[in-house]
């Protein structure tokens, strides 16, 4: 604990200097553009991971004017300290859960109706003020990466001064922000591996924009199959959010104590109807599903989606249904029409006039039901449900449907989506394709540097170099697979750099296996294995080697799973003493969310998000059996490292990787990750 | 007579339309090598009637064809002295029934193929995409005649558009007035005609709908197409009487309805006619739909009628745009002045509130609790209820209506005005019923609930119109027309039964129907007129049976009749007895199709060596051929919807042996 504390305080210093830097940035921007830059400002504050309340404009303004800034700061401190404790507790608790909660906090307050808010009983007012102030610290809003022990009064005072000096400008900014009335949330997104990313989402952002964001932050292939995936463990349901949906709206339906999670995964089903329209529009059963020429596919899509009205696939068949809160499943003959789902009542024909409406799509979303055989005694596990998005628990208003086979399930889910979203779905797809194309090109460009270095440096058996080169080739988004691989490779290369390749190898094979089998589904669970691995590492070493060559990991996220690497790094550090300060190392890792672009990311991501990982990490270090063999890649590591660092600074302007305190210009993500680091350290210390 | 033998000339008798059928034909002395042009010249000279004869041509009665090639000689045509030729105008007025069941008189060309005539008619009516339309002969079977007679008792209003010539400069893509208006609107008569064409007609009395012809079976539906005429020259003047009534009818297919708003202005007529066609297709059960769909169609119709009658017409579009700009400007202003916090405060507090005594009831199983009165405050999207008007502390209950479902439960006779709310919560839906005292209160609260359900507050500009809508709908429901509420606006005098097809007229009473339509109506009440029509058309196109034309056919080697459905993208083989689809072939797997004109059989070859052949029972196989060819032609139209029409290709695809 004590040792950890020492480090922590260092880190905190660093953090605060970061913070100050950010304040500077903010104020600068304020000074420059006072009128137009609403959006700019918004972005900025989003960088702080703050949420802004709108309704409280006047309140907070008044508050600012009336109250002494000092007092405000003091309050702030109190709040922070209080929340910090809570957060710590929470983080610990969370770490014991397999599911890290992706909670988010809606920080919007409406002072107008204080009565309605059963919220933080203590000084709600202060709360609002804090938020509106944009001060980075409102840890309450932040989810996991919460509040590092803010202790030292010194930085605060500094801050205070700064704050005072800039109070006017901030005020101005506040007004603007309030006018914009933009609600923001901090959201944790679980990646395909155990890691996660924390994002600031404002209420105007669509899922598409957030995906783009995530593309930037993770080096995935940007294929059209990536999606945000909502999971509700309570109902055992999940669904991918459509690209045009508004994330904040979806999240605001979650309950405060929700165990729901948000994942960033690849789902082929998302746009399967556009990649293989014949399976939905022509084939009547699985046997008929054949391939089709691209040209014909295009014509078919044109026909179905480009007319005045979208053609909903003709779909009918017997499904089992469980509704009205009953326990039994009833078999009925259902038909899909553009206006809703209908069924044929007993003894009637399936002519339109006899059909009975089962449900219309306006107010419901569609979800996959997982393992319903066990949960609800469904006839099969191929279930889907329809419910109002706000319903989060089992209720009579949820409609459960069960198909005979996965093929039928896919048909129905897709058909219903087409019925519900119509042309929007196709538009989404077109944008996604476009983005994927751009992104892959972009990624290639940005990868160039690192690739080279890694290539030269790593003539490993892994074949990384070759792969990397492949990565260089412009891969069109149209071929997600290639893209994916490419991405993976780059990723591996990246990960390589910090940790000994050997380790990577070990872990990768495993992960690769896991992921390849069930592509994206259980990403959140996957992470768990790695944590336990570390101790066993040695034993597995032999295994990994064969695996490494073609980075088996399918998904970039797996790369992210580099999670293990971090630990490795640590050990290494201590062992190799590349850099004297372990804390520094840590910093490197955590910094995840911030660096949109590259390598450093993986480690950080992994750290902050899933508590389980934390455990592993913290657990890892203590028993540190420094994974010895950084065989052929050792040289590589160093070489790679360098290139990496520059990159980072290029992109993010963050030097903080090396020196936590240095990066005055680092953006919010850094701050968060820094916080994370501190927390982690603390935890590690505790464990020790 | 000997003379004639010498110089090889002979007498040709030509009747002239203008002189009347009784008048003697004019006799010309001609030789076999004289050109048609020369004949006409002689004829005109001899008649000595000063007139512009340029539109006239010769019709050969026995052969039932036009003799129009002026450079051909009589010999080439094979015209001899016994030929009965008539000199008539090539353009004549026809009475054309439009999809909205209005009849107009327009000039059509009788001497060119139907397709050409249709193009001409479309130019006059200023409709784009003539290739999607064709002419349909009126129903002629005896049953129909009876009906027709009844109907004829009421004098039919015919809009005379005969005088409308195609304005000069009209291209095939239509003529656009410099200021974007329809060319007809330049003159008062034109304006009147335009109103008929572009504005949807008010609903017909339900009894009338019940009387109109409804196809009741697949076979009935198959009959329609036997009346389609496409290729033959329209008609000779002698047949004119028979064909005076012609319906113009879209092949209900890939109707390209432009979605871009700038184009819409030019397409007002087209969209309206499409809407009318779809509306009648639904009302007359030509296409089947479910109850829910019917309610939605009814609500859309109601909204369209209301908009059309209130004169909003197309101006709606403009004004709404204007409003938007206005609104944007004013918000911008606010933004710029935003430095004054009081402004913000004002804007927040200026959201209107509702405060009233209402009765609350939560239906739960096994409870018989009565309605309980509370003091309710509706603010933003939240309803709070208090024990009484002294609002102390926490409300007893609070409901956030965002995303909730709102349903009316109204019975005017019983003075029951309830609002049913299904408020989503994590645990499920909370059912709450609010009971209002009177109509007025109900309209206000209901409107507020609906807006809140869509995440809008009462500050939204649509609030007052929403309240109005609810009021007028309540009036509709008022079974007693003599009540003091008697509609001040006749717009509201709509019988909801006239919005649904005969089946639902029978199935429901007005009392049951109106609330259901009202429920569907709340989803569409905010649409503009054109948007609503588009929505109707789209919903119609989304019906599974949309675009299917039925023909009774007999497949080769089969002993019983079956039905062939031709859709824009596929052929469907349907069991005549059950009505189930037996097999489907898509056009884009079609390799070729042939018609054996001798045995009247259509043979089609698809990919993978699938061959089918059938003969047609209810219609000429030529019509089937035209349908297939027409759809294939439509699918070849440029993706960019280029406006130039490839007539040659069209004829090639649909003309059959006549095109050769």
Q: Which residue has the higher pLDDT, B163 or B171?
A: B163
- Tell me whether B293 touches chain A (CB under 8 Å): yes
Query: Please, which residues have CB within 8 angstroms of residue A67's CB and are 6 or more apart in sequence?
Result: none
Mutation target for A interface from B341, B345, B640: give the one with most A CBs within 10 A: B341
User: Mean of the per-residue pLDDT values for chain A?
Assistant: 59
Rounded Cα–Cα distance for residues B81 and B68 (Å): 18
Q: Which residue of B has its CA nearest to A399?
A: B428
3-state secondary structure of A240: strand
- Tell me whether B292 touches chain A (CB under 8 Å): yes
Rounded Cα–Cα distance for residues A575 and A580 (Å): 10
Q: What is the pLDDT of residue B480?
A: 47
Rounded Cα–Cα distance for residues A688 and A4 (Å): 10
A398 CB neighbours in chain B (<8 A) are 428
- Asked if residue B658 has pLDDT above 60, the reply is no
Confidence tier at A43 by pLDDT (50, 70, 90) = very low
Q: Which residue has the higher pLDDT, B479 or B486?
A: B479
Rounded Cα–Cα distance for residues A22 and A521 (Å): 38
Q: What is the pLDDT of residue A383?
A: 93
- Tell me whether B646 touches chain A (CB under 8 Å): no
Confidence tier at A20 by pLDDT (50, 70, 90) = low
Interstrand relation of B85-89 and B9-16 (parallel, antiparallel or unpaired): parallel
Picking from A518, A632, A502, A633, the residue whose alpha carbon sits closest to that of residue A568 is: A502
Give A310's DSSP letter: P
- Report the sign of the C-alpha dihedral through residues A216, A218, A223, A224, in that order: negative
Tell me the pLDDT tens digit for each residue of B78-115. 888 888 888 888 877 777 777 777 777 777 777 777 77
Distance (Å) from the alpha carbon of A72 to chain B's nearest alpha carbon:
20
Rounded Cα–Cα distance for residues A439 and A216 (Å): 9
Would you call B542 and A296 a contact, using CB atoms and an 8 Å cutoff? no
Rounded Cα–Cα distance for residues A106 and A116 (Å): 15
Q: What is the pLDDT of residue B164?
A: 57
Q: Which residue of B has its CA nearest to A254?
A: B426
Residue written as tokens 């259980």?
A: A522
Would you call A309 and B336 a contact, using CB atoms and an 8 Å cutoff? no
Contact A140, A127 (CB under 8 A): yes
Question: In angstroms, what CA-CA distances link A656 with A262, A519, A591, A663, A673?
Answer: 29, 35, 8, 4, 11
Would you call A300 and B588 a contact, using CB atoms and an 8 Å cutoff? yes
A390 CB neighbours in chain B (<8 A) are 403, 424-426
Q: Which residue of B has its CA nearest to A422?
A: B542
Picking from B402, B258, B261, the residue whose alpha carbon sits closest to that of residue B324 is: B261
Question: In angstroms, what CA-CA distances link B90 with B53, B108, B162?
Answer: 10, 8, 14
* Residue A69 in tokens: 């800034």
Contact A34, A141 (CB under 8 A): no
Q: Which residue has the higher pLDDT, B353 or A534?
A: B353
Q: What is the 3-state secondary structure (H, E, C) of B378-401?
A: EECCEEEEECCCCCCCCCCEEEEC
Rounded Cα–Cα distance for residues B258 and A562 (Å): 52
Rounded Cα–Cα distance for residues A601 and A494 (Å): 9
Mutation target for B interface from A308, A348, A349, A360: give the one with most B CBs within 10 A: A308
- Report the sign of the C-alpha dihedral through residues B278, B282, B287, B289, in that order: positive
Mutation target for A interface from B257, B348, B531: give the one with most A CBs within 10 A: B348
Residue written as tokens 């026995």?
A: B62
Rounded Cα–Cα distance for residues A184 and A104 (Å): 10
Q: Which residue of B has its CA nearest to A283?
A: B584
Q: What is the pLDDT of residue B225?
A: 60
3-state secondary structure of B206: helix
Q: Which residue of A has its CA nearest to B640?
A: A306
Interstrand relation of B103-109 and B158-160 (parallel, antiparallel or unpaired): parallel
Q: What is the pLDDT of residue A663?
A: 36
Other C-beta atoms lying within 10 Å of the C-beta of residue A675? 29
Tell me the pLDDT tens digit for each residue of B422-470. 888 888 888 888 888 888 888 888 888 888 888 888 877 778 888 887 8
Average of per-residue pLDDT across A596-613: 39
Tell me the pLDDT tens digit for each residue of A444-482. 555 444 433 333 333 333 333 333 333 333 333 333 443
Distance (Å) from the alpha carbon of B396 to chain A's nearest alpha carbon:
11
A337 CB neighbours in chain B (<8 A) are 290, 293, 542-544
List phi, psi (to 5°) of A355.
-65, 145
Would you call A390 and B425 a contact, using CB atoms and an 8 Å cutoff? yes
Q: Which H or E element spans position B359?
A: strand B353-361
Q: What is the pLDDT of residue A422?
A: 86
Contact B583, B238 (CB under 8 A): no
Contact B390, B408 (CB under 8 A): no
- Tell me whether B245 touches chain A (CB under 8 Å): no
Rounded Cα–Cα distance for residues B61 and B373 (Å): 86
Confidence tier at A3 by pLDDT (50, 70, 90) = very low
Alpha helices in B382-509 (DSSP H): 439-453, 462-477, 502-507
Would you call B288 and A296 a contact, using CB atoms and an 8 Å cutoff? no
Tell me the pLDDT tens digit for each residue of B181-210. 455 555 666 666 777 777 776 666 767 766
- Asked if residue A275 has pLDDT above 50, the reply is yes
Q: Which residue from A178, A360, A363 is facing B344, i.e. has the nearest CB?
A: A178
Confidence tier at A110 by pLDDT (50, 70, 90) = very low
* Residue A614 in tokens: 């934390």
3-state secondary structure of B433: strand
- Asked if residue A28 has pLDDT above 80, the reply is no
Distance (Å) from the alpha carbon of B490 to chain A's nearest alpha carbon:
32
Strand partners, B602: B595, B614
B405 CB neighbours in chain A (<8 A) are 363
Rounded Cα–Cα distance for residues B548 and B298 (Å): 23
Give A342's DSSP letter: E
Tell me how far apart the terminal alpha carbons of chain B are, to the nearest angstrom: 42
* Residue B33 in tokens: 């090598």
Distance (Å) from the alpha carbon of B94 to chain A's nearest alpha carbon:
32
Task: Among A70-84, A219-233, B290-304, B507-521, name the one with the lowest average pLDDT.
Answer: A70-84
Distance (Å) from the alpha carbon of A388 to chain B's nearest alpha carbon:
7
User: Mean of the per-residue pLDDT values for chain B?
Assistant: 72
Task: Among A239-253, B48-62, B348-362, name the one with the lowest average pLDDT.
Answer: B348-362
Distance (Å) from the alpha carbon of A66 to chain B's nearest alpha carbon:
14
Q: Which residue has the higher pLDDT, A411 or B220?
A: A411
- Asked if residue A233 has pLDDT above 50, the reply is yes
* Residue B271 in tokens: 């969209």
Give A360's DSSP letter: -
Q: ipTM score of the complex?
A: 0.77
Q: What is the pLDDT of residue A442?
A: 59
- Tell me whether B256 touches chain A (CB under 8 Å): yes
- Asked if residue A529 has pLDDT above 70, the reply is no
* Residue A553 in tokens: 């990991």
Tell me the pLDDT tens digit for each residue of B52-79. 888 888 888 777 778 888 888 888 888 8
* Residue A201 in tokens: 């989402």
* Residue B121 in tokens: 């008619």
What is the pTM assigned to this prediction? 0.64
Tell me the pLDDT tens digit for each residue of B288-304. 888 889 999 999 998 88
- Asked if residue A140 has pLDDT above 90, the reply is no
Tell me the pLDDT tens digit for each residue of B381-424. 888 888 877 766 777 888 888 888 888 888 777 788 888 888 88
Q: Which residue has the higher pLDDT, B160 or A333?
A: A333
Q: How many CB pairs under 8 A join A and B?
A: 123
* Residue B187 in tokens: 């003159």
A178 CB neighbours in chain B (<8 A) are 344
Rounded Cα–Cα distance for residues A221 and B508 (Å): 57
Could you tell me the strand order of the sheet in which B91-97 lies?
Answer: B158-160, B103-109, B91-97, B245-250, B133-136, B228-229
- Asked if residue A507 has pLDDT above 70, the reply is no
Q: Which H or E element spans position B222?
A: helix B218-224
């Amino acid at each position: 604990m004590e040792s950890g504390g020492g480090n922590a305080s260092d880190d905190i210093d660093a953090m605060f200097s970061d913070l100050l830097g950010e304040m500077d940035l903010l104020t600068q921007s304020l000074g420059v553009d006072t009128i137009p830059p609403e959006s700019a400002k918004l972005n900025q504050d989003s960088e702080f991971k703050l949420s802004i309340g709108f309704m409280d404009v006047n309140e907070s303004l008044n508050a600012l004017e009336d109250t002494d800034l000092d007092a405000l700061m003091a309050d702030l401190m109190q709040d922070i300290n209080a929340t910090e404790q809570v957060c710590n507790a929470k983080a610990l608790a969370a770490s014991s859960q397999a599911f890290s909660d992706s909670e988010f906090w809606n920080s919007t307050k409406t002072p107008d109706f204080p009565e309605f808010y059963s919220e933080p009983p203590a000084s709600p007012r202060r709360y609002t003020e804090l938020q509106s102030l944009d001060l980075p610290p409102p840890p309450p809003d932040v989810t996991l990466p919460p509040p590092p022990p803010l202790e030292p009064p010194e930085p605060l005072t500094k801050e205070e001064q700064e704050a005072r000096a800039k109070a006017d400008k901030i005020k101005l900014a506040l007004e603007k922000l309030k006018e914009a009335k933009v609600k923001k949330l901090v959201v944790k997104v679980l990646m395909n591996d155990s890691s996660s990313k924390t994002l600031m989402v404002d209420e105007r952002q669509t899922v598409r924009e957030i995906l783009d964001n995530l593309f930037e932050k993770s080096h995935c292939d940007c294929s059209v199959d990536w999606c945000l995936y909502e999971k509700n463990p309570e109902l055992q349901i999940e669904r991918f959010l459509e690209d045009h949906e508004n994330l904040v709206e979806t999240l605001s339906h979650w309950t405060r104590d929700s165990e729901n999670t948000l994942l960033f995964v690849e789902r082929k089903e998302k746009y399967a109807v556009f990649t293989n329209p014949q399976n939905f529009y022509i084939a009547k059963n699985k046997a008929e599903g054949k391939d089709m020429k691209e040209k014909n596919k295009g014509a078919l899509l044109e026909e179905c989606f480009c007319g005045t009205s979208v053609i909903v696939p003709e779909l009918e068949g017997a499904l089992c249904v469980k509704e009205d809160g009953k326990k039994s499943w009833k078999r009925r003959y259902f038909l899909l029409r553009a206006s809703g789902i209908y069924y044929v009542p007993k003894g009637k024909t399936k002519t339109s006039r006899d059909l009975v409406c089962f449900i219309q799509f306006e107010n419901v979303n569609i979800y996959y039901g997982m393992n319903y055989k066990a949960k609800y005694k469904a006839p099969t596990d191929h279930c889907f449900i329809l419910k109002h998005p706000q319903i989060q628990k089992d209720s009579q208003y949820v409609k459960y449907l069960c198909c005979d086979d996965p093929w039928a399930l896919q048909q129905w889910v897709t058909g219903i989506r087409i019925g519900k979203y119509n042309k929007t779905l196709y538009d989404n797809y077109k944008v996604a394709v476009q983005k994927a194309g751009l992104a892959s090109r972009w990624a290639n460009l940005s990868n160039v540097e690192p690739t080279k270095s890694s290539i030269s440096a790593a003539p490993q058996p892994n074949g990384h170099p070759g792969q990397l080169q492949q990565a260089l080739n412009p891969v069109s988004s149209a071929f997600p697979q290639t893209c994916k691989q490419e991405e993976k490779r780059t990723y591996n290369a990246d990960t390589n750099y910090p940790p000994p390749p050997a380790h990577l190898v070990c872990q990768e094979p495993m992960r690769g296996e896991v992921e390849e089998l069930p592509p994206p589904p259980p990403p959140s669970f996957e992470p768990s294995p790695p944590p336990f691995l570390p101790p066993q590492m040695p034993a597995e070493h032999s295994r990994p080697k064969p695996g490494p060559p073609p980075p088996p990991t399918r998904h970039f996220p797996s790369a992210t799973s580099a999670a293990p690497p971090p630990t490795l790094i640590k050990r290494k550090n201590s062992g190799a003493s590349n850099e004297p300060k372990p804390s520094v190392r840590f910093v490197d890792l955590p910094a995840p969310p911030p660096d949109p672009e590259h390598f450093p990311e993986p480690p950080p991501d992994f750290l902050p998000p899933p508590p389980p990982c934390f455990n592993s990490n913290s657990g890892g270090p203590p028993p540190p059996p420094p994974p010895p063999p950084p065989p052929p890649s050792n040289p590589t590591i160093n070489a790679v490292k360098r290139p990496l660092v520059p990159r980072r600074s290029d992109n993010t302007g963050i030097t903080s990787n090396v020196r936590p305190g240095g990066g005055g210009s680092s953006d919010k993500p850094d701050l968060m990750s820094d916080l994370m680091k501190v927390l982690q350290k603390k935890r590690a210390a505790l464990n020790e | 007579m000997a003379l004639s033998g010498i110089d090889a000339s002979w007498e040709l008798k030509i009747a002239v339309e203008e002189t009347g059928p009784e008048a003697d034909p004019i006799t010309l002395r001609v030789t076999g090598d004289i050109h048609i042009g020369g004949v006409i010249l002689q004829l005109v000279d001899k008649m000595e009637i000063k007139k512009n004869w340029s539109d006239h041509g010769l019709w050969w009665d026995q052969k039932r064809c036009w003799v129009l090639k002026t450079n051909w000689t009589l010999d080439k045509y094979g015209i001899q002295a016994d030929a009965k030729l008539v000199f008539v105008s090539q353009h004549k007025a026809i009475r054309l029934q439009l999809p909205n069941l209005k009849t107009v008189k327009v000039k059509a060309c009788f001497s060119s193929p139907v397709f050409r005539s249709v193009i001409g008619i479309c130019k006059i009516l200023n409709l784009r995409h003539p290739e999607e339309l064709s002419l349909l002969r009126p129903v002629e079977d005896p049953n129909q005649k009876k009906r027709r007679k009844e109907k004829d008792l009421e004098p039919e209003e015919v809009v005379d558009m005969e005088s409308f010539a195609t304005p000069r400069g009209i291209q095939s893509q239509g003529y656009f007035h410099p200021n974007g208006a329809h060319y007809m609107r330049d003159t008062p008569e034109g304006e009147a005609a335009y109103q008929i064409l572009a504005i949807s007609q008010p609903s017909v009395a339900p009894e009338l709908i019940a009387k109109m012809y409804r196809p009741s079976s697949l076979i009935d539906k198959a009959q329609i197409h036997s009346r389609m005429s496409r290729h033959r020259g329209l008609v000779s003047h002698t047949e004119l009487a028979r064909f005076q009534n012609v319906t113009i009818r879209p092949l209900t297919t890939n109707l390209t309805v432009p979605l871009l708003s700038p184009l819409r202005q030019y397409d007002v007529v087209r969209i309206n006619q499409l809407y009318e066609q779809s509306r009648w297709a639904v009302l007359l059960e030509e296409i089947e739909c479910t109850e829910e769909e019917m309610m939605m169609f009814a609500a859309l119709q109601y909204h369209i009628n209301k908009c059309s009658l209130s004169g909003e017409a197309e101006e709606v579009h403009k004004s709404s745009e204007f409003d938007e700009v206005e609104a944007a400007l004013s918000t911008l202003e606010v933004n710029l002045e935003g430095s004054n916090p009081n402004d913000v405060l004002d804007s927040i507090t200026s959201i209107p509130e509702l405060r009233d005594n209402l009765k609350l009831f939560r239906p739960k199983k096994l409870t018989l609790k009565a309605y309980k009165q509370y003091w309710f405050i509706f603010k933003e999207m939240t309803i709070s209820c208090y024990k009484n008007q002294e609002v102390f502390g926490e409300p007893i209950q609070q409901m956030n209506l965002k995303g909730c479902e709102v349903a009316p439960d109204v019975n005017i006779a019983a003075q029951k005005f309830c609002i049913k709310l299904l408020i989503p919560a994590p645990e499920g839906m909370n059912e709450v019923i609010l009971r209002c005292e009177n109509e007025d209160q109900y309209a206000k609260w209901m409107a507020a609930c609906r807006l809140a359900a869509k995440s809008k507050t009462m500050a939204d500009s649509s609030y007052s119109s929403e309240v109005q809508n609810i009021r007028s709908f309540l009036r509709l429901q008022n079974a007693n027309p003599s009540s003091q509420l008697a509609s001040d606006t006749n717009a509201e005098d709509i019988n909801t039964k006239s919005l649904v097809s005969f089946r639902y007229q029978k199935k429901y009473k007005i009392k049951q129907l109106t609330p259901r339509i009202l429920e569907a109506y709340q989803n569409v009440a905010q649409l503009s007129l054109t948007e609503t029509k588009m929505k109707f058309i789209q919903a119609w196109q989304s019906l599974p049976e949309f675009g299917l034309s039925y023909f009774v056919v007999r497949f080769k080697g089969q002993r019983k009749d079956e039905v062939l459905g031709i859709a824009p993208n596929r052929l469907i083989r349907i069991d005549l007895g059950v009505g189930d689809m037996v097999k489907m072939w898509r056009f884009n797997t079609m390799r070729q199709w042939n018609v054996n004109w001798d045995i009247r059989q259509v043979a089609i070859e698809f990919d993978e060596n699938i061959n089918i052949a059938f003969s047609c029972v209810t219609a000429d196989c030529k019509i089937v051929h035209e349908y297939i060819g027409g759809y294939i032609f439509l699918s070849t139209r440029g993706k960019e919807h280029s406006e130039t029409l490839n007539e040659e290709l069209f004829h090639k695809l649909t003309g059959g042996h006549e095109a050769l």
